């Protein structure tokens, strides 16, 4: 008993603050109900006591007492009283998912802003954050499929690689979803899993059989369609170039549209679900609701784990008794409504207007803070940050990102290399070390950057980007040392020249003094002094020209150094691009492409 008292505490102590407003409400109610009836002003007190029923006042007192005790008990129960630890089995839900992403050229189409590709990336991020348990893998395909990330529970790694995925990095053009589904099934086999879900995010397929050929009840294939029925042209130019679009042999713009009927048929035949892409999570909830043969399967992580047992449920017994004792028509329902009313209801009032357009215009008028508030109603901060990043505003993205790795990437792109290095330093993974090395290199801390690259190469000697950057910085350090040595020799030479010029100047001054004395004694020689002044002016001009040459040479070396630094690759997809190219070459050597039919490249 004594040990239980020593261990007594609340798991959620902030709920105890609810006692303060509850005390205020009860006090106000008591004060109001204790006011005398209006009859007391017209009837004498002895007669009033006979006319009025005392049971009403007794009932009111009983209700007040029951309501106060019920509020206290409810608050204490929500605070989570605990005084002992109980062994609890810890299990993780065996919910494996492989996301297959379409990276064909048609994903560049902009019929959904900003593009189909950007929306697909953001939808994958939403899927990773929506899933609280389970492991996830990622596969990308165009004319051929490539495994991006094997099945893992490290969701941040998948998020970091998403921004690098683009149709431009795929070695083989086209759209063959079968190659992606083959790799998805291979990932399940490699992980030793006998069931799991496959989520295909695509803007269209040619035939439903491309998907249904892989149907298996243990691996349902759900599909999320991105795009519109009317479609849009496929841009093939950069942002800073004039608009150019993909055309066919006759020079007509190709506008690939979303054929939902084929996708619905393919999902139904593959034991999955289909949904078009939505702004919220409704599409993910539909697509991920495909049943598995053993829906409740789980993996035991630890045998048992001692955790504090929440004993607040025991307070439900006296609370129920108090509710029965204080029951009165309408009172019980009102009390439950006050307790259970969800918080978002109080935030639904809209003082700026009834329509979305009116509210948006009003937000612009009242200022940026209100516009930000309006935007927060429709997008999370991470979604706003991602949109800002894709729109080319890394400064705003860095202010919105809460995840340090995403914020570090935004700061790196905005030129805040010091802040980026600080954010990347919190990530002990190889990606974090590599990114930190890039940021340190941009800051001019070459030796520290080389140390980070060494740590990456020690864990993964095949990291070509880290090896290239390390060799580049070592060459820069060598050049810098040579430049410093040359500058030191030049400074020494300049000091020697200055000393020799000083001695010559002293001799010249002595000669001038001698000439002045001669001029004082012989005023008929007026041309001697001007000749000496011209020599001094020539010496000064020579020194000035030499100083300007040194500055120009120093600026030229600085420009060359900046050009070298710009060669440091900061594209996280460099390794993926080379990985895909290597896999394609291996398959070509094995003759995997010999029996494939030629199809459209978009």
385 and 320 in one domain?
no
Give the percent of the chain with pLDDT over 70: 67
230 and 370 both lie in a single domain? no
In a domain, 279, yes or no: yes
Confidence of residue 302 (pLDDT cuts 50, 70, 90): very low
Kindly tell me the burial class for residue 379, based on how many C-beta atoms sit within 10 Å of its own C-beta (0-12, 13-18, 19 or more): middle
Tell me: the pLDDT tens digits for 73-130? 888 888 888 888 776 655 555 689 999 999 999 999 999 988 999 999 999 999 998 8
Using a cut of 0.95, tell me whether the model's pTM lies above it. no
Q: How far apart are CA 275 and CA 123, in angstroms?
A: 12
Query: Are the CB atoms for 283 and 124 separated by under 8 Å?
Result: no
pLDDT band at 514 (very low <50, low <70, confident <90, very high): low
Q: How confident is the model at residue 369 (pLDDT cuts 50, 70, 90)?
A: low
> Are 191 and 295 in the same domain?
yes
Instruction: Tell me the C-alpha distance between 544 and 535, whole Å.
Output: 14
The reply to whether 504 falls in a domain is no
Last residue in a domain, options 251, 278, 299: 299
Domain contains 195? yes
The sign of the torsion formed by the CA atoms of 441, 445, 446, 449 equals: negative
Residue 25 is assigned to a structural domain of this protein: yes
Q: Is the pLDDT of residue 522 over 60?
A: no
Q: DSSP code of 526? A: T
Query: According to the model, what pLDDT value does residue 121 have?
Result: 93
Range of the domain at 330: 2-84+310-337
On the question of pLDDT at 492 being above 70, the answer is: yes
pLDDT of residue 272: 94
Shared-domain flag, residues 208 and 272? yes
pLDDT digits (tens, 9 = 90+) for 421-453: 888 888 888 888 888 888 888 888 888 889 888
Look-up: residue for tokens 């035949």?
269
Residue at which a domain ends, from 470, 500, 515: 470
Q: Are residues 206 and 238 in the same domain?
A: yes
43 and 12 in a common domain: yes
46 and 113 in a single domain? The answer is: no
Does 388 lie in the same domain as 261? no
Q: Look at residues 250, 269, 299 and tell me which one is the last residue of a structural domain.
A: 299
Alpha helix (H) ranges present in 175-271?
A: 177-190, 209-212, 260-269
Distance CA 147, CA 477 (A): 38
Q: Are 99 and 6 within one domain?
A: no
* Lowest-confidence segment of 200-204, 405-409, 564-568, 574-578 by average pLDDT: 564-568
β 197-202/298-308 pair status: unpaired
Q: Are residues 118 and 245 in the same domain?
A: yes
Any domain includes 600? no
**Are residues 262 and 398 located together in one domain of the fold?**
no
- Mean of pLDDT values over 312-328: 72
Residue 142 lies in a domain: yes
Strands 9-10 and 81-82: what pairing? Answer: antiparallel
352-356, 422-426, 556-560, range with greatest mean pLDDT:
422-426
Q: What is the pLDDT of residues 232-266, one digit of tens each?
A: 999 887 666 777 888 877 888 889 999 999 999 99
Instruction: Give the pLDDT score at 346.
Output: 33
Is 549's pLDDT higher than 70?
no
Domain count, the chain: 3
**Residues 394-413: pLDDT tens digits?**
888 888 888 888 888 888 88
Confidence at residue 343, expressed as pLDDT on a 0 to 100 scale: 39
DSSP symbol at 265: H
pLDDT at 364: 41
- CATH number reported for the structural domain that contains residue 96 in this entry: 3.40.50.410
Task: Tell whether 512 is covered by a domain.
Answer: no
In this predicted model, what pLDDT tens digit does every residue of 15-26 receive, in sequence order?
888 888 888 887
Place 303 in a pLDDT band, splitting at 50, 70 and 90: very low
Residues 377 and 457 in one domain: yes
322 lies in a domain?
Answer: yes
């Amino acid at each position: 008993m004594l040990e239980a008292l020593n261990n007594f505490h609340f798991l959620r102590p902030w709920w105890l603050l609810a006692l303060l407003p509850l005390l205020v409400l009860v006090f106000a109610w008591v004060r109001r109900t204790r006011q005398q009836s209006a009859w007391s002003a017209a009837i004498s007190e002895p007669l009033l006591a006979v006319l009025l029923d005392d049971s009403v006042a007794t009932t009111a007192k009983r209700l007040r007492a029951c309501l106060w005790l019920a509020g206290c008990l409810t608050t204490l129960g929500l605070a989570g009283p605990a005084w002992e630890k109980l062994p609890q089995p810890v299990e993780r839900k065996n919910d494996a998912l492989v996301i297959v992403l379409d990276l064909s050229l048609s994903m560049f189409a902009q019929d959904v802003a900003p593009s189909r590709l950007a929306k697909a990336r953001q939808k994958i991020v939403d899927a990773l954050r929506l899933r609280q348990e389970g492991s996830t893998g990622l596969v990308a395909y165009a004319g051929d499929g490539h495994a991006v990330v094997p099945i893992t529970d490290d969701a941040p790694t998948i998020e970091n690689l998403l921004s690098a995925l683009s149709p431009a990095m795929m070695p083989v053009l086209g759209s063959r979803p079968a190659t992606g589904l083959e790799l998805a099934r291979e990932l399940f086999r490699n992980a030793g899993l006998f069931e799991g879900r496959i989520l295909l995010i695509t803007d269209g397929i040619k035939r439903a059989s491309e998907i249904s050929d892989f149907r298996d009840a243990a691996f349902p294939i759900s599909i999320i369609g991105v795009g519109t029925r009317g479609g849009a042209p496929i841009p093939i130019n950069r942002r800073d170039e004039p608009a150019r679009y993909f055309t066919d042999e006759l020079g007509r713009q190709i506008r690939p549209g979303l054929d939902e009927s084929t996708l619905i048929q393919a999902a139904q035949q593959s034991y999955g679900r289909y949904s078009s892409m939505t702004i919220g999570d409704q599409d993910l909830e539909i697509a991920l609701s495909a049943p598995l043969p053993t829906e409740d399967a789980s993996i035991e992580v630890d045998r048992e784990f001692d955790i504090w047992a929440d004993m607040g449920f025991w307070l439900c017994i006296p609370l129920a008794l108090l509710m029965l004792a204080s029951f009165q028509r309408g009172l019980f329902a009102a009390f439950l409504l006050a307790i259970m009313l969800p918080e978002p209801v109080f935030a639904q009032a809209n003082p700026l207007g009834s329509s979305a357009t009116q509210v948006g215009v009003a937000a612009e008028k009242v200022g940026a803070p209100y516009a930000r508030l309006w935007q927060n109603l429709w997008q999370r901060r991470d979604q706003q940050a991602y949109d800002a990043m894709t729109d080319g505003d890394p400064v705003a993205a860095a202010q919105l990102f809460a995840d340090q790795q995403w914020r570090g990437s935004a700061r790196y792109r905005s030129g805040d290399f010091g802040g980026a290095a600080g954010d990347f330093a919190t990530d002990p993974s190889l990606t974090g070390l590599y990114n930190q090395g890039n940021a340190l290199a941009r800051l001019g801390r070459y030796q520290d950057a080389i140390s980070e690259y060494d740590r990456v190469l020690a864990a993964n000697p095949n990291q070509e980007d880290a090896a290239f950057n390390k060799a580049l910085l070592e060459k820069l350090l060598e050049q810098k040392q040579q430049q410093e040595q040359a500058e030191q020799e030049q400074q020494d030479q300049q000091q020697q020249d200055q000393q020799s010029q000083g001695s010559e100047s002293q001799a010249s001054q002595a000669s001038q003094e001698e000439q002045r004395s001669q001029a004082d004694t012989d005023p008929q020689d007026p041309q001697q002094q001007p000749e000496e002044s011209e020599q001094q002016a020539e010496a000064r001009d020579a020194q000035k020209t030499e100083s300007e040459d040194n500055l120009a040479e120093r600026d030229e070396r600085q420009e060359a150094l900046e050009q070298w630094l710009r060669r440091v690759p900061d594209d996280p997809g460099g390794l993926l691009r080379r990985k895909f190219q290597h896999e394609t070459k291996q398959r070509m050597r094995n003759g995997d492409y010999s029996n494939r039919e030629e199809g459209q490249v978009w």
